[in-house]
Chains A and B, each alone.
Chain A
Amino acid sequence: MIKTIPFLRRTAQVLSFLFLLYLVIKTAFPLEIKIPVDLYLRLDPFVAIISTLAHKGIIERMLPAFGVLLLVIIFGNFFCGWFCPMGAVIDFFDRLLFREKKRAKAFDDQPLRRFRYGVFIFSIIAGLMAFQVMYLLDPISLLTRTLIISFYPPAIYIFNHLVPQVQSLLPKNPFSILNIPLPVFKVNLFIFIFFMGILALGVIRKRFWCRYLCPLGTLFSITSRLRILKRSVTDDCTDCQKCVKECPVGAIPEKAPQNCRQQDCVSCFKCLECPPQAVSFNFGIPAWKTVDGVNLSRRYVLGSFAFGCVSALMIKTNPLQSESGLKNNRLVRPPGALPEEEFVAVCTGCGECLKVCPNNALQSTFLEAGLAGLYTPRLVSRIGYCEEFCNFCGRVCPTEAIRPLSIEEKRLIQIGVAHIDKNRCIAYDTEKICLVCNEQCSYHAIVGDEKKRPIVKEEKCTGCGICENKCPVDGESAIIVYSSGVQKKLKPENSNNKSG
């Protein structure tokens, strides 16, 4: 029984990762899956706490996350070791790439263990003021973002190139098999390098990221001090140090193996493989006190706090961000997005909306939305446009930064307005009849004049960007969607009683 526990844990980790992968793949048309595709993010209490505080109101979709926090209080930090898909990936690569011998020698990690509390305090303070650093470090958001932006497009690329090869080996098929539209994302390399960096940290120590950086882990650490299921060691202990060596997170102090750092223990139950069977886990009374706690001096806490405040102020006073600064009018947010300032505070940059967008229209920002808006979604019409009968992005957003809208509501949201560059437009510049924009417009917002030249009717334009997307002018489109600042609701009208 005890021997099977590590096996069970590995299986749970693999299944958890595969399930995340399955949900990510299912985050696509027609989105009819019964389970919410953003399930993992909805169960992430770190994201829940931050986004609820930033949103200044309850976010319904994030409520299950507090249930997870409750479970942690009962069973200790079971999440990191058993179910965290990021932990599973890190474990896998630690095993694959870094053999124990090659790893750096054991060292006193007391200062490092303190580091993640510093990161935690910093990210909470900075995050609540302006800077979205905690979303960049949240493991679930980070993993889905990396999978979607950096790994999904190459996978499709390989698939599209491999299928014809395999097909040519098969008996002659009279019709060609369709390929999947290749998604493209601008920041893929940057996100990939960040992710590789995290994996590379494993060379220093197993699960380096989890032990010393991960803010979700830190939250669980703090909570699991209150745990009810506790480790206890009887007097049979022979001080053989087996558990000390094998503990994957180093939670058992070398000098006193009968103790356990509750804040570090991930409930993997590996220490149950004790030769004299002295170790057991029992339910007990929660106690805040723990052994070998992190020495968070007042200076350290205040330092992290101050650092968070200062960096938040830096961002607030950056011209990209501050209100007096230049607003980026090409920054078109998806329909239903919260007002800009609130949006960047609530959006976790998880990439779910990027994945689900059927036209690849949503792209991750880099610095276009200022420093605070890193990795938030924007509509890039030249790559894709907002599909008329689609409301998927709002349906998959875990923090409701993009509000869920019905199709009818969504069709009346104006995210921007198209403007024609008459110097470049084929119809204005030459005698040719073009009118692709008029033909493509879903909302009758582009009409033609007597010379068959397009004119935009602002009161009908939703800014979906189909005109910009299909414009046949080379390079930059001759019709461009500019953000209207705040998303407006257009007046509904009976679309059947109009002349074109």
Chain B
Amino acid sequence: MDQSLGKKLTRRQFIKGAAAVTAAPLIMETLPFYGTLAHASGEADLVIAKNGSPSQLLQAAMTPLGGMGRFVKKGQRVVIKANIAWARTPEQACTNNPDLLFSLVKMCYEAGAKRVAVWDHTCDNYQFAFARSGLKEAGQKAGADVLSGHGRNVYKQVEIPRAKKLKTAEILRDVLETDVFINFPIPKQHFATELTLGLKNLMGIAWDMEIMHKIDLHQCIADINTLRKPDLVVVDAIRILTTNGPKGPGKTEDPNQVMVSTDIVSVDAYSVALFKNPKTGKPFKPEEVRFVKLASELGLGEIDLAKIRVKKVSAT
């Protein structure tokens, strides 16, 4: 299903990977245990990194997956769909962690990206959301363009052939045309859909988000994900919002984790367990969040975590 997974390891990639493995201990002060395990095409489908600073977590999580070089090739354009929807401060955990965004953009550039753009169609006024969340500053500091989908001219009307209900939508042109697409969600509690995860993060590439509520929210979330499969999903679970979602402010928790995967359904299926289901009092099961189930039914990824290779690493 994933094109890059099926590709054979080229000699160049092998040499690069080998060089990285050799060079990593020389560059870094402490030798992380995963360093020697680095593999150019990835040895796991879903990696969870714990303990460490945002940049360490991302580094640690990306290495077993094959490093950023597996996804971003030299001269490519990268689009990151971040969550900058609300005019909230980073501590309130309603938007992405600015340090993590900074590291992510930096990693893309280090892998040879020509240009990185961070997009979101904000819910609050984009100027306030960009300023208060600190994400515009962080993204620009790392050299990315932080862009907002407030103007209709940046969208393109497309058919969604595999969709069940949302047959057509106006989608950010950059997302459709870019070489590499990274989905960068933050998991949060959500009153209407129980949780907001990677799948739901893609609502922000559409011009008309409200219409999805009108048609059938869960199905539309699954439908819109059939359009462009993200090459990489980076889940920012450094701090998560557990009440009053998605806008908050509410109670927060600090799992201090970063999850990366190429499979958006499995990464969502994994991250639901960060939250407690108010009905059962136990952590959520993937099937209890309807859009995750619908997405797996559409064949967007593997919902059964037993069937994929999950790897947990420690960043320090």
Asked if A and B are interacting partners, one says: yes
Chain A residues within 8 Å of B, Cβ to Cβ: 29-30, 160, 164, 174-176, 178-181, 358-359, 387-390, 426, 432-436, 438-442, 444, 448, 452, 470-473, 495-496, 498-500
A178–B217 touching, CB < 8 Å: no
A358–B127 touching, CB < 8 Å: yes
The stretch that binds A, out of B238-246, B258-266, B298-306, is B238-246
A179–B216 touching, CB < 8 Å: no
A496–B214 touching, CB < 8 Å: no
**CA–CA, A452 to B290, complex, Å?**
15
The stretch that binds A, out of B9-17, B46-54, B97-105, B142-150, is B142-150
**Shortest Cβ gap from A32 to chain B (Å):** 11
**Set of chain A residues within 8 Å of B34, measured between Cβ atoms:** none
Q: Tell me whether A160 and B127 are in contact in the complex, defined as CB-CB below 8 angstroms, given that A426-B213, A444-B244, A499-B243 are known contacts.
A: no
B128–A442 touching, CB < 8 Å: no
Q: Which residue of B lies closest to A440 (CB)?
A: B123
Q: Which residue of B lies closest to A444 (CB)?
A: B244
**Shortest Cβ gap from A448 to chain B (Å):** 6
**Set of chain A residues within 8 Å of B189, measured between Cβ atoms:** 500
Q: Tell me whether A434 and B154 are in contact in the complex, defined as CB-CB below 8 angstroms, given that A174-B77, A175-B147, A452-B192 are known contacts.
A: no
Q: Tell me whether A496 and B251 are in contact in the complex, defined as CB-CB below 8 angstroms, given that A181-B151, A434-B192, A438-B191 are known contacts.
A: yes
The 7 closest A-B pairs by CB, nearest first: A472-B210, A500-B244, A179-B151, A435-B192, A472-B214, A434-B213, A29-B127
Q: Tell me whether A175 and B244 are in contact in the complex, defined as CB-CB below 8 angstroms, given that A389-B132, A498-B250 are known contacts.
A: no
**Shortest Cβ gap from B125 to chain A (Å):** 5
Q: Is B158 on the interface with A (CB-CB < 8 A)?
A: no
**Set of chain B residues within 8 Å of A178, measured between Cβ atoms:** 147-148, 150-151, 154
Q: Which of B124, B216, B250 contacts A500 (CB 8 A)?
A: B250
Q: Is B131 on the interface with A (CB-CB < 8 A)?
A: yes
A389–B87 touching, CB < 8 Å: yes
Q: Is B115 on the interface with A (CB-CB < 8 A)?
A: yes
A160–B153 touching, CB < 8 Å: yes
**Set of chain B residues within 8 Å of A472, measured between Cβ atoms:** 210-211, 213-214
A500–B191 touching, CB < 8 Å: yes
**Set of chain B residues within 8 Å of A175, measured between Cβ atoms:** 77, 115, 117, 145, 147, 174
**Set of chain B residues within 8 Å of A471, measured between Cβ atoms:** 210
Chain B residues within 8 Å of A, Cβ to Cβ: 77, 87, 114-115, 117, 123-125, 127-128, 131-132, 145, 147-148, 150-151, 153-154, 173-174, 189-193, 210-211, 213-214, 216-218, 243-247, 249-251
**Set of chain A residues within 8 Å of B174, measured between Cβ atoms:** 175-176
**CA–CA, A388 to B88, complex, Å?**
10
Q: Which of A30, A496, A500 contacts B245 (CB 8 A)?
A: A500
Q: Which of B216, B246, B249 contacts A495 (CB 8 A)?
A: B249
B216–A432 touching, CB < 8 Å: yes
B210–A436 touching, CB < 8 Å: yes
B191–A439 touching, CB < 8 Å: yes
Q: Tell me whether A388 and B216 are in contact in the complex, defined as CB-CB below 8 angstroms, given that A174-B77, A442-B247, A470-B210 are known contacts.
A: no
**Set of chain A residues within 8 Å of B125, measured between Cβ atoms:** 29, 358-359, 387, 390
**CA–CA, A387 to B150, complex, Å?**
15
Q: Which residue of B lies closest to A447 (CB)?
A: B191
**Set of chain A residues within 8 Å of B173, measured between Cβ atoms:** 176
B190–A439 touching, CB < 8 Å: yes
**Shortest Cβ gap from B107 to chain A (Å):** 19
**CA–CA, A359 to B126, complex, Å?**
10
A164–B192 touching, CB < 8 Å: no
- 23 A-B residue pairings within 8 Å (CB atoms): A160-B151, A174-B115, A175-B117, A176-B153, A178-B147, A178-B148, A358-B128, A387-B125, A388-B124, A426-B213, A433-B192, A433-B218, A434-B217, A436-B192, A436-B213, A438-B191, A438-B192, A448-B191, A471-B210, A472-B210, A472-B213, A498-B250, A499-B243
**Set of chain B residues within 8 Å of A435, measured between Cβ atoms:** 191-192, 213
**Set of chain A residues within 8 Å of B245, measured between Cβ atoms:** 500
**Set of chain A residues within 8 Å of B213, measured between Cβ atoms:** 426, 432-436, 472
Secondary structure of the A contact surface, majority rule:
loop
**Set of chain A residues within 8 Å of B131, measured between Cβ atoms:** 30
User: 4 more A-B contacts (CB under 8 A) besides A176-B174, A389-B132, A433-B217?
Assistant: A179-B153, A433-B193, A498-B243, A500-B191
**Set of chain B residues within 8 Å of A389, measured between Cβ atoms:** 87, 128, 132
A441–B153 touching, CB < 8 Å: no
**Set of chain A residues within 8 Å of B150, measured between Cβ atoms:** 178, 181
Q: Which residue of A lies closest to B127 (CB)?
A: A29
Q: Which residue of B lies closest to A426 (CB)?
A: B214
Q: Which of A174, A179, A387 contacts B114 (CB 8 A)?
A: A174
**Set of chain A residues within 8 Å of B247, measured between Cβ atoms:** 439-442
**CA–CA, A181 to B124, complex, Å?**
14
**Set of chain A residues within 8 Å of B127, measured between Cβ atoms:** 29-30, 358
Q: Which of B128, B218, B249 contacts A387 (CB 8 A)?
A: B128
**Set of chain A residues within 8 Å of B128, measured between Cβ atoms:** 29, 358, 387-390
**Set of chain A residues within 8 Å of B132, measured between Cβ atoms:** 389
B214–A432 touching, CB < 8 Å: yes
**Set of chain B residues within 8 Å of A387, measured between Cβ atoms:** 87, 124-125, 128
Q: Which residue of B lies closest to A499 (CB)?
A: B243
**CA–CA, A436 to B190, complex, Å?**
11
**Set of chain B residues within 8 Å of A174, measured between Cβ atoms:** 77, 114-115
**CA–CA, A371 to B150, complex, Å?**
36
B124–A176 touching, CB < 8 Å: no
A439–B192 touching, CB < 8 Å: yes
**CA–CA, A389 to B247, complex, Å?**
14
**Set of chain A residues within 8 Å of B190, measured between Cβ atoms:** 439
**Set of chain A residues within 8 Å of B114, measured between Cβ atoms:** 174
**CA–CA, A434 to B217, complex, Å?**
7
**Shortest Cβ gap from B142 to chain A (Å):** 16
**Shortest Cβ gap from B184 to chain A (Å):** 17
**Set of chain A residues within 8 Å of B191, measured between Cβ atoms:** 435, 438-439, 448, 452, 500
**CA–CA, A176 to B151, complex, Å?**
11
B244–A498 touching, CB < 8 Å: yes
**CA–CA, A495 to B151, complex, Å?**
32
**Set of chain B residues within 8 Å of A470, measured between Cβ atoms:** 123, 210
Q: Which residue of B lies closest to A430 (CB)?
A: B214
**Set of chain A residues within 8 Å of B249, measured between Cβ atoms:** 495-496
**CA–CA, A433 to B151, complex, Å?**
27
**Shortest Cβ gap from B174 to chain A (Å):** 6
B210–A496 touching, CB < 8 Å: no
**Set of chain B residues within 8 Å of A444, measured between Cβ atoms:** 244
Q: Which residue of B lies closest to A358 (CB)?
A: B125
**Set of chain B residues within 8 Å of A388, measured between Cβ atoms:** 87, 124, 128
Q: Tell me whether A439 and B246 are in contact in the complex, defined as CB-CB below 8 angstroms, given that A181-B151, A359-B125, A434-B217 are known contacts.
A: yes
**Set of chain A residues within 8 Å of B77, measured between Cβ atoms:** 174-175
Q: Which residue of A lies closest to B172 (CB)?
A: A176
**Shortest Cβ gap from A259 to chain B (Å):** 58
**CA–CA, A496 to B117, complex, Å?**
33
**CA–CA, A441 to B191, complex, Å?**
12
Q: Which residue of A lies closest to B151 (CB)?
A: A179
**CA–CA, A442 to B151, complex, Å?**
23
**Set of chain A residues within 8 Å of B243, measured between Cβ atoms:** 498-500
**CA–CA, A436 to B220, complex, Å?**
14
**CA–CA, A175 to B123, complex, Å?**
22
**CA–CA, A495 to B249, complex, Å?**
7
**Shortest Cβ gap from B57 to chain A (Å):** 26
